[in-house]
Chain A
Amino acid sequence: MMAALLRRTGQTVLVLFGVSVLVFGVFFATPGADPTARIAGRNAAPQVMEKVRHEYGFDRPLPVQYAIMMKKLFITRDLASYANRGQAVVPEIMQAAPVTASLVCGAAVLWVTVSIFMGTLAAARKDTWVDRGLMMLGLVGISIPVFWLGQVANLLTQSRYHDTWLFSWVPGLGYVPLAQDPLGWFRALVIPWVVLAVMFIGIYSRVLRHDLVALAGEDFMRTARAKGLSPMRVLLRHGLRTSMVTFVSLFGLDFAQLAGGGALLTEVVFGLPGVGRLTYRALTMLDLPVIMATVMYSAIFVVLANAVVDVVYLFLDPRVRDAR
């Protein structure tokens, strides 16, 4: 087990390095990009330009630029946003992280429970209208653009039906910190949770149902039935438990992508000041340091989550422990 863990760590480090190079490359090495103007802002004075050029090493070769950028991001953490009056980028990200975390974790809880329920029910009632109906619902869920759904949700909850009992409890757009007001925090996040979860419920319930149905023909399922176990037990204890392995690894990847800022659109539509919205703001102002930092942090998050998923996989599937 230790050997497998060490190997995984080594791979993770390598991928992290690769990611940093890729992100750096996108922003600073694409043809036609002038990083100096980007960082200093479009209408910066020549002295500022010169300062920026020197500080970031744009007058030196690319690898040196890369090294300087990495240092600023991770070690000295003084990467500053010039478009936003020199505000330090890294602390800003740290501040926005809990918001994104609240959004993504809540949505995750919702989508995991609902999709397990839907997927298992559909597999248990295979080929009945229950199955077909649930799968169609899932398919619809996958087909809805999340930002549009958020807009429609807002339309319904904030405007059209705001005064009915259905949605009168929905507060205005924005975030309420948990420590400050737990109930408010919850109420502000319920609709965003649902909106964000819809797409994933669609994906996961379908994947789970597909896996469970595929497993039903497996030998060990046949053995379990031959043992005289009830169908529910066979489905849940043997079928579900075995397909959890795939489910969890998929979940880990998606959760990481989301937490790393993939929830950008949802945050924007609902006015939640998370990492995603930070990125969006930076986009509209072409605030390059912020954009680069957020993209980098989110990519790191994804890579780390990948590694965590692999470790969890080792615990979930005993075959993998001895295989490597």
Chain B
Amino acid sequence: MPADPPLLAVRDLCVSFPARGRMVPIVEHVSLDLHAGEIVGLVGESGSGKSVTAMALMGLIDSPGVRVTGSALFRGRELVGMPQRQLRRLRGRDIAMIFQDPMTAFTPVYTIGWQIDEQIRAHEKLSRHAARARTVKLLADMGVPDPAHMAQRYPHQLSGGLRQRAMIAMALSCSPALLIADEPTTALDVTVQAQILELLRRLRGTHGASILLITHDMGVVAQTCARTLVLYSGRMAETGPTEAVFDRPGHPYTAALLDAIPPLYGPRPDRLPAIDGIPPQPADRPAGCAFAPRCGHAHETCLPAPPPPVPIGPGQQAACVLPAEGTPLPPRGPMTECTA
């Protein structure tokens, strides 16, 4: 475990939006550490608050009345509450973000090359020529064929995979220390997914970038992330080294998610065990554990208040009452092939 301070240290991050007269918490008390050169996964289903967390870190939420509290230290600087002008300097240069749907993420009326040049020239004083040269090199690094010509194409003229590569190139154009990838492969075919994930894995070596990977896909997490944070209904359910989380999940939700993945070995199940019910609306979260209504292990201690995270292994925590009560979940077989 690296002993130097984390690149990104988030503590008790809370994001609330005003709705119908009161503040509805979307993200509650999320904490995570990301060290240089690491890929950390933020997992959760739709509506769990993953993207909101990322947007809050970058200060990109501009809905009127939104409230962000807690702390997010990036290289020792506090992101929460930082004035926009300073945030703008960080964005694109020290922290970059890539988005889920590359088609709509690029401005339709400008060429890819123009848009990447724009980011470069926004942060560094380069001539148009020099910026374009760097753009072409970046595209080539990302595996885009014939990068000089591709740079002159419009977003709608590229395939999904190429667009995502272009987006990653754009995000890396100023060599950011932290890359936040919001569902980077969700909109792509499976084969392209694998290529993009491979690309992301290599970035740590080639560009020295650390990645916060946001996804709903446990399989993606297993392939790429050294550490994982599982989010449920805006609250942290479990966090820890990926291998540990997958082999010995401490939170029933994590276990249920893993159960729902079709097994590669062993007898073939008739039905995939899906989790009954749906996550609660942010405005109607229960007073106690958010997962209690759907949890097979729920009992009275779960109801009064959200269980605080308790350590259940080296670097692993779960927000559940079970470990503290001496009845932790049984371990599963080794599932991961994390090449971290």
Direct contact of A and B (CB under 8 A): yes
Docked CA distance A241–B84 (Å): 24
Nearest CB to that of B176 among chain A residues? A228
For B156, the chain A residues whose CB sits under 8 A away are 318-319, 322
Q: Is A229 touching B118 in the complex (CB atoms < 8 A)?
A: yes
Q: Whole-angstrom distance from the CB of A181 to the nearest CB of chain B?
A: 43
Is A281's beta carbon under 8 Å from chain B? no
Q: Is A226 touching B154 in the complex (CB atoms < 8 A)?
A: no
One digit per residue, 1 when the CB lies within 8 angstroms of any chain B CB and 0 when it does not, for chain A 220-256 equals: 1011111111110100011001100100000000000
Q: Is B93 touching A228 in the complex (CB atoms < 8 A)?
A: yes
Is B91's beta carbon under 8 Å from chain A? yes
Q: Which of A223, A230, A237, A241 contacts B106 (CB 8 A)?
A: A223
Q: Is A225 touching B60 in the complex (CB atoms < 8 A)?
A: yes
Docked CA distance A316–B167 (Å): 23
For B154, the chain A residues whose CB sits under 8 A away are 318-319
Q: Which of B84, B104, B109, B157 contacts A219 (CB 8 A)?
A: B104
Nearest CB to that of B119 among chain A residues? A227
Is B105's beta carbon under 8 Å from chain A? yes
Q: Is B109 touching A316 in the complex (CB atoms < 8 A)?
A: yes
List B residues 77-130 near A (Cβ within 8 Å): 84, 88-93, 96-97, 99, 101, 104-110, 118-119, 122-123
Q: Is A223 touching B99 in the complex (CB atoms < 8 A)?
A: yes
Q: Is B92 touching A228 in the complex (CB atoms < 8 A)?
A: yes
Answer whether A242 and B107 are a contact pair too, CB < 8 Å, given A219-B101, A227-B119, A319-B154: yes
Q: Is B92 touching A238 in the complex (CB atoms < 8 A)?
A: no
For B96, the chain A residues whose CB sits under 8 A away are 226-227
Q: Is A223 touching B90 in the complex (CB atoms < 8 A)?
A: no
For B167, the chain A residues whose CB sits under 8 A away are 223
Answer whether A219 and B105 are a contact pair too, CB < 8 Å, given A228-B88, A318-B154, A319-B154: yes
How many contacts A-B (CB < 8 Å)?
A: 75
List B residues 134-159 near A (Cβ within 8 Å): 154, 156-157
For A237, the chain B residues whose CB sits under 8 A away are 118
Is B177's beta carbon under 8 Å from chain A? no
One digit per residue, 1 when the CB lies within 8 angstroms of any chain B CB and 0 when it does not, for chain A 195-236 equals: 000000000000000000000001110111111111101000
One digit per residue, 1 when the CB lies within 8 angstroms of any chain B CB and 0 when it does not, for chain A 255-292 equals: 00000000000000000000000000000000000000
Q: Is A227 touching B91 in the complex (CB atoms < 8 A)?
A: yes
For B90, the chain A residues whose CB sits under 8 A away are 228
Q: Which of A127, A224, A226, A242 contacts B108 (CB 8 A)?
A: A242
Is A317's beta carbon under 8 Å from chain B? yes
For A226, the chain B residues whose CB sits under 8 A away are 58, 60, 91-92, 96-97, 99
Docked CA distance A303–B123 (Å): 47
Is B64's beta carbon under 8 Å from chain A? yes
Nearest CB to that of A127 among chain B residues? B64
Q: Whole-angstrom distance from the CB of A8 to the nearest CB of chain B?
A: 21
Interface centre among B88, B91, B109 (most CB of A within 10 A): B109
Docked CA distance A231–B90 (Å): 15
Q: Is B64 touching A220 in the complex (CB atoms < 8 A)?
A: no
Is B170's beta carbon under 8 Å from chain A? yes
Q: Is A222 touching B60 in the complex (CB atoms < 8 A)?
A: yes
For A222, the chain B residues whose CB sits under 8 A away are 60, 99, 105
Nearest CB to that of B94 among chain A residues? A228
Answer whether A228 and B99 are a contact pair too, CB < 8 Å, given A220-B105, A317-B108, A317-B109: no
For B60, the chain A residues whose CB sits under 8 A away are 222, 225-226
For B104, the chain A residues whose CB sits under 8 A away are 218-220
Q: Is B91 touching A223 in the complex (CB atoms < 8 A)?
A: no
For A238, the chain B residues whose CB sits under 8 A away are 107
For B92, the chain A residues whose CB sits under 8 A away are 226-229
Docked CA distance A259–B122 (Å): 43
List B residues 268-327 near A (Cβ within 8 Å): none
Q: Whole-angstrom distance from the CB of B159 to the nearest CB of chain A?
A: 14
Q: Whole-angstrom distance from the CB of B116 to the nearest CB of chain A?
A: 9
Nearest CB to that of A218 among chain B residues? B104
For B170, the chain A residues whose CB sits under 8 A away are 227
Q: Whole-angstrom distance from the CB of A234 to the nearest CB of chain B?
A: 10
Q: Is B122 touching A227 in the complex (CB atoms < 8 A)?
A: yes
For B157, the chain A residues whose CB sits under 8 A away are 318, 322
One digit per residue, 1 when the CB lies within 8 angstroms of any chain B CB and 0 when it does not, for chain A 122-155 equals: 0000010000000000000000000000000000
For B110, the chain A residues whose CB sits under 8 A away are 241
For B123, the chain A residues whose CB sits under 8 A away are 228
Nearest CB to that of A244 among chain B residues? B109
For A225, the chain B residues whose CB sits under 8 A away are 60, 91
Nearest CB to that of A239 among chain B residues? B107
List A residues 58-74 near B (Cβ within 8 Å): none
Q: Is B91 touching A319 in the complex (CB atoms < 8 A)?
A: no
For B93, the chain A residues whose CB sits under 8 A away are 228
Q: Is A220 touching B107 in the complex (CB atoms < 8 A)?
A: yes
Answer whether A220 and B108 are a contact pair too, CB < 8 Å, given A227-B118, A228-B92: yes
Q: List 21 A-B contacts (CB under 8 A).
A: A127-B64, A218-B104, A219-B104, A220-B104, A220-B105, A220-B106, A220-B107, A226-B60, A226-B91, A226-B99, A227-B91, A227-B119, A228-B92, A228-B122, A228-B123, A233-B122, A241-B110, A242-B109, A316-B109, A317-B108, A322-B156
Q: Chain A: residues with CB nearer than 8 A to chain B?
A: 127, 218-220, 222-231, 233, 237-238, 241-242, 245, 316-319, 322
Task: List the 7 closest pairs (A to B, CB-CB), nearest first.
Answer: A228-B92, A228-B91, A219-B104, A227-B92, A318-B154, A220-B107, A227-B119
Starting from the known contacts A222-B99, A226-B99, 13 additional A-B residue pairs (CB-CB under 8 Å) come to A219-B104, A220-B105, A220-B108, A223-B99, A223-B107, A226-B97, A230-B88, A237-B118, A238-B107, A317-B108, A318-B157, A319-B156, A322-B157
